[in-house]
Structure 1
Amino acid sequence: MNALLHRSVLALLGFGGAVTGGWAYAAPRHWYDTFPGMGMSWLPQLGPYNEHFAKDVGAMFLALTAVTAVTFVLVANQTLVRVTALMWLVFNALHCVYHLSMLQMYDTRDATVNGILLPLAVLAAVALFIPVRVSSEPSPRRPVRRTYRQSARTDA
């Protein structure tokens, strides 16, 4: 069940990273002027447009997305899931702290949306740290692997 949770969280984080990163990298001025879309614009209040910075942000999000996509495919590798969780947790926590300290720059609607979505992104990363339950019984789809010593003891 937790593999489904992990895949769901990875899909959510990866999709958000791909959309934000692709948009910022391919159309940095449009991204700056209109992010997050839907009639809202959150970036101009925070400082002047800088194409280099916008493209770097896009590249960073695309890099996060690439690691997340690999983790989605290899979700059984719990070390990789935890590394990906840590990567998103560091980014989302720092991003959240900064933006929550800047809420006064937004109107009530935009401040509220930021105040909800940014902590949810932190919680999404934390959810990837939930360990996957491993059954003690062998899977019916996978044969039990025996070591050489186990085979020697049972065959003798």
Structure 2
Amino acid sequence: MRVLLLIIGIYQAANGVVMLTVPEIWYSAVPGVPETGPANIHFIRDIGLAFLAAGAALLMASRQPHDRRLIAAATIFLGGHAVYHLVEMAHGTTLTAAARDIMMIVVPGLLPLAAFLPGSAKART
């Protein structure tokens, strides 16, 4: 569990850092984002802070996996973001966009919930 939390924490925190430091590059580099409309740099940085905070919580949880509050805090944003994308997919999207969102958003956003599954208690101790 620690390794999983570490990897997802790095992934999410790195995304947040890129959104904060080079939002224009992030906007043009992430597949599907330019199709959502013109870049709003302030909004990209706001969301970058959320990714950074969630990533930091998961990184802390990787050192203290027994403290599920850290995972829960990160999952409020990451899980909510993942579910929101699933809802959008249910209202119609291309297969390519759905596959991309599942791999880049849904799986990394919901995977920390594995810490709450039965049998994961051994990993937390």
**Structure 2 unaligned residues grouped into runs of 5+:** none
- What is the RMSD of the two structures over their aligned residues, measured on CA atoms? 2.4
Aligned to 1:19: 14
Q: 2:78·2:110 contact (CA, 8 Å) conserved in 1?
A: no
Q: 1:9·1:128 contact (CA, 8 Å) conserved in 2?
A: no
SS of the residue aligned with 1:93?
helix
Aligned to 1:151: none
Q: 1:10·1:68 contact (CA, 8 Å) conserved in 2?
A: yes
Shift of 1:117: 4.5
Aligned to 2:50: 60
Aligned length: 120
Shift of 1:116: 4.4
**Structure 1 unaligned residues grouped into runs of 5+:** 36-40, 136-156
Q: 1:14·1:69 contact (CA, 8 Å) conserved in 2?
A: yes
Partners of 1:133 and 1:108 in 2: how far apart?
35
Aligned to 2:101: 114
Give 1 or 2: higher helix fraction: 2
Q: Give matches, 1:1-156, under 5 Å.
A: 5=1, 7-35=2-30, 41-75=31-65, 78=66, 80=67, 82-103=68-89, 104-105=92-93, 107-129=94-116, 130-132=120-122
TM-score by length of 2: 0.78
User: Could you report, residue by residue, the CA deviation over 1:21-47 in whole angstroms, capped at 9, with x for unpaired residues?
Assistant: 111011001111111xxxxx2212223
